[in-house]
Amino acid sequence: MTSVESSERIHRAIEGLAKLKRASLLMVVSWILGVVALAVIVISVVFGVLHGALAMGPRPQSVEEAFNMVMRLLGAAIGGIAILIVSLIIQLIAVFALLVPSFRRLRDYNATLFGTPSTLVSVGYIGGVVLLLASVGGLTASVFARSIGGVLMSAILLILGLILLVFIGKIGVIVGCFRMKNEFGESLFLASGIVLIISIITMFVPHGTVVSSVLSFIAWIMMYIASGSALKKLQQQLSSREVASAPSTATGGQQVSGI
């Protein structure tokens, strides 16, 4: 492999790690916004219920009062709902604009190491979203058509989509973390993979969804730090190569001019 080919490979790794770093940061931001959104919604609803109870008594006296109470609750929670939508949009950007492309660039850097993780991440996240959209469309059509078979098929597509998103995509990230630790020497990649494995296991524990979410949050923070550190090392390595190749290029130019 020539020095030019080696530098091109390093550039691919740098691009992949840079995208992974940004994806990790957006996942952390999305998680924080999600927590804030849920807190705003819960607090708004609780205060809305208390205010309605004090204003109208334990029960609405008419349909109009009941409707007004529901509207007040929705109005109080609208801020949290808006933040939640922003959180979901950021997460989609992190996954499809950064995370999936980051593993593709790492695959271009080393197909032997990162080919399988890239495939799992692409199939898991892209395939999962496609199946979820198909299930929603199928369910809507089945309800209007009053088709029980269509509803059951939509439910199956929904389950398969969730499996791809929650398990296959995350398993791809886990395998990628282990291989990035071996390739780039960052122990936090290994720690991130282990924490993600634990987050999957805790999903099957009663009331373990919150714990799983917190563990994923911690894993993304570690992945952000690890990718940043590996990125810095590769950039320094690339700079050293360019500096080392500069004298030979200059010498070659002098020889040509001498001829």
The rounded distance, in Å, linking the Cα atoms of 87 and 63 is 35
Predicted local distance difference test score (pLDDT) of residue 247: 59
0.85 exceeded by pTM: no
The residues spanned by each domain of the chain are 3-242
Return the higher-pLDDT residue of 204 and 55.
204
Beta strands of 70-214 (E only): which ranges? none
Mean pLDDT check: name the lowest of 75-79, 98-102, 228-232. 75-79
3-state secondary structure of 59: coil
Q: Give the separation between CA 16 and CA 10, rounded to whole angstroms.
A: 10
Q: Are 121 and 94 in contact (CB under 8 A)?
A: no
First-to-final CA distance of the chain = 29
Highest-scoring range by mean pLDDT, 46-55, 70-79, 165-174? 165-174
CA distances from 11 to 183, 197, 198 (A): 15, 30, 33
Mean pLDDT over 216-228 rounds to 97
Q: Is the pLDDT assigned to residue 258 strictly greater than 60?
A: no
Q: What is the 3-state secondary structure (H, E, C) of 185-229?
A: CCHHHHHHHHHHHHHHHHCCCCCCHHHHHHHHHHHHHHHHHHHHH
CA distance 75 to 82: 11
Q: Determine contact, residues 114/83, Cβ cutoff 8 Å.
A: no
Q: How many CB atoms neighbour CB 147 within 10 A?
A: 14
Alpha carbons 166 and 124: distance in angstroms, whole number = 8
pLDDT category of residue 99 using cuts at 50, 70 and 90: very high
The two tokens of residue 243 are 């500096």
pLDDT tens, residue by residue, 152-209:
888 898 899 888 888 899 999 999 999 999 999 999 999 999 999 999 999 888 888 8
Six-digit token pair at 175?
A: 């395998």
* pLDDT higher than 90, residue 27: yes
Q: Please give the Cα distance from 166 to 216 (Å, whole number).
A: 11
Quote the mean pLDDT of the chain.
Answer: 84
The arithmetic mean of pLDDT across residues 96-105, rounded, is: 95
Residue with tokens 């993600």, as numbered in its chain: 196
Percent of the chain with pLDDT over 70: 81
- Measured from the Cβ of residue 62, the count of other Cβ atoms closer than 10 Å reads 9
Residues contacting residue 123 through CB under 8 Å, at least 6 positions apart? 164, 168, 169, 172
Instruction: Give me the mean pLDDT over the 41-48 stretch.
Output: 76
Kindly report the backbone phi and psi dihedral angles of residue 205, in degrees, each rounded to the nearest multiple of 5, phi listed first: -90, 140
Task: Give how far the C-alpha of residue 181 lies from the chain's centroid of Cα atoms, to the nearest Å.
Answer: 19
